[in-house]
Amino acid sequence: MSIGRGASASVSRVFGRGASAVMRKEISDHFASRRIMILVSLIAVAGVSAIYVAGMTIRDTVAFAEDGAEFVFLRLFTTSGANLPPFTSFLGFLGPLVGLAVGFDAVNGERARGTLSRILSNPIHRDAVLNGKFLAGVFAVSIMLLSLTLLVAGMGLQLIGVPPTSEEMARILAYTTLTIVYVSFWLAVSILFSVYFRQASTSALAGIAVWLFASVFMPLIAGMAADAAVPLQENPTALEILAHERIRQGISRISPTALYYEAAASILSPHVRSLGLVLIEQIEGAVAGPLPLVQSILNIWPHATGLVAGTLVCFAVAYVGFMRQEIRAG
C-alpha cells in the first residue's frame, strides 16, 4: 500500500524527514503479517458469531421494548445471546491484542535484526522512525476495524432486514472511531515496551500483563477497595451504597477498558443518559426519550479524552526514551 506524494510530503514535514517512507514500509509489513491477520480473523469470527446471535434474537422477538424500538440496528452491537456476549464485549476484550501485536517488536525487533542502524544511516531523522511506525500502526488498525465494522453491519442488515437510519450510521461511525482510539492506546503501550525492553518476547509479555490487569484484575481491585473503604452491612443506607459505588466506579475508571465499555454503551444505547450514579431526585421531571448524538458524545467526552491522553502519554514516554537511546551499528 502507498500514500500519495502530497500526503507523503505533509507527513514528512510534520513528523520528521523520512516518516512517510517508514510509514509506507510499516503499512506493507502489517498487512502482510501473519500474526496480525490471525488475530483479526479471530476477532472477525467472534464478531460475526455475536452479530449472528444478536440478529436471530432480534428476529425472534415479536415486540420490541418501547425504549428502543426506533434503534433496532444498534441493538445488533449490544444484544447478547445465551452463550455469547455482545459484539462490543469481543472488541473491548480482544481489540487490545491487535494493538499489542502491531507494536510489541516495533523497535527492539529492528535492533535485534541489526536494521535499526541501517535505517538511521539513511537521510531519515531518528524521530521519524518512531513517528512513522506509530502512524502506520494507527492506519492499519483503522482499516482493520472499519472493515470489520462494515462486515458485521452488512451481515446484520441481511439478518434483520432493517436498514440503519442516519442517526444509527453516525453512532456506528462514532463507535468505530472510539474503538480505533482504544486500540491505538494499546499500540502506544506496546511501542513503549518495545523501546525500553531489549527482547521482543519480554515486551510482548509485559503488554499482555498490562492488558490482563486492566481487563480482569482492575475490576476486582476496585471492588475490594470499595469494600474496604465503605463496607456494606446487612441493611446499608442509601448514602453508604452511593459512597461505595462511587469509590468502586472511580477506581475502575483508571482502567482504559472500563472507560471504553462505558463510552461504547453510551454511544450505542441512546437512552443511556448518565454514566454515573443517578439519584431519584435528579431524574424527577426529566423528559423520557433518547439522547441526540451530540449529547451522547458530550456524555463520553471525559472518557474519550482520557483514552487520548493515555495514548499521548505512553507515546511521549516512548519517544523520549527512543531519542535518548544509543543506536550502535550492528
| Contacting residues for 115 by C-beta, under 8 A, at least 6 apart | 330
pLDDT given for residue 63 in this prediction: 43
CA 307/CA 296 separation, integer angstroms: 17
- Total structural domains within the chain: 1
Confidence of residue 69 (pLDDT cuts 50, 70, 90): low
Which residue is it, cell 471504553? 260
Lowest mean pLDDT among 13-17, 66-70, 84-88, 183-187: 66-70
Mean pLDDT of 315-320: 94
DSSP type of residue 84: -
What whole-number distance in Å separates Cα of residue 286 and Cα of residue 274? 12
CA–CA gap between residue 12 and residue 126 (Å, rounded): 12
- What gap in Å lies between CA 282 and CA 261, rounded to an integer? 24
pLDDT value of residue 9: 54
Which residue range forms the structural domain that includes residue 303? 5-324
CA distance 64 to 87: 20
DSSP-H helix ranges across the chain: 5-15, 19-32, 34-60, 75-78, 87-103, 108-113, 116-121, 126-160, 166-196, 200-212, 218-229, 238-252, 256-268, 280-283, 293-324
Q: Based on C-alpha coordinates, what's the Rg of the chain?
A: 22
Closest by Cα among 306, 322, 308, 2 to 131: 322
Mean pLDDT of 225-236: 86
pLDDT of residue 36: 87
Give pLDDT tens digits for 258-293. 999 999 999 998 888 777 665 555 555 555 678 888
Q: Which three cell numbers stand for residue 74?
A: 444498534
Q: Which of 39-43, 92-96, 159-163, 204-208 has the lowest mean pLDDT?
A: 159-163
**Pick from 135-144, 216-225, 238-247: least confident:** 238-247
> Quick one: average pLDDT of 66-89?
77
- In this prediction, residue 330 has a pLDDT band, given cuts at 50, 70 and 90, of very low
The average pLDDT across 191-214 equals: 94
**What is the per-residue pLDDT for 163?**
84
| Nearest one of 99, 95, 82, 103 to 46, comparing CA atoms | 95
Q: Which helix (H) or strand (E) holds 288?
A: none
Please check whether residue 330 lies inside any domain of the structure.
no
Asked which of 62-71, 86-95, 190-199 is least confident by mean pLDDT, the reply is 62-71
Residue 153 carries which side chain, given as an amino acid letter? A
Q: How confident is the model at residue 68 (pLDDT cuts 50, 70, 90)?
A: very low
Local confidence band at 2 (pLDDT 50, 70, 90 cut-offs): very low
**Which residue type occupies 257?**
T
What percentage of the chain carries pLDDT values higher than 90?
Answer: 38
Question: According to the model, what pLDDT value does residue 62 have?
Answer: 42
Closest CA to 300 of 251, 247, 258, 246: 258
Decide: 24 and 125 in contact? Cβ < 8 Å.
no
Does a structural domain hold residue 222?
Answer: yes
Identify which has the larger pLDDT, 321 or 290: 321
Separation CA 183–CA 177 (nearest Å): 10
- Could you tell me if residue 90 is inside a domain? yes
Quickly state the pLDDT bin for 17 (edges 50, 70, 90): low
Averaged pLDDT for residues 165-173:
92
Express each pLDDT in 208-224 by its tens digit.
999 999 999 999 999 99
Using the CB atoms, write b or e for 16-52: b if 16+ within 10 Å.
bebbbbbbbebbeebeeeeebeebbeebbebbbbbbb
Return mean pLDDT, the chain.
Answer: 84
The answer to whether 175 and 267 have CB atoms below 8 angstroms apart is yes
Phi and psi based region of residue 329 (left: phi greater than 0; alpha: psi -120 to 50; beta: remaining): beta
Place of cell 448518565: 274
Q: Is residue 223 part of a domain?
A: yes
> Picking from 115-129, 138-152, 254-268, which range would have the lowest pLDDT averaged per residue?
115-129
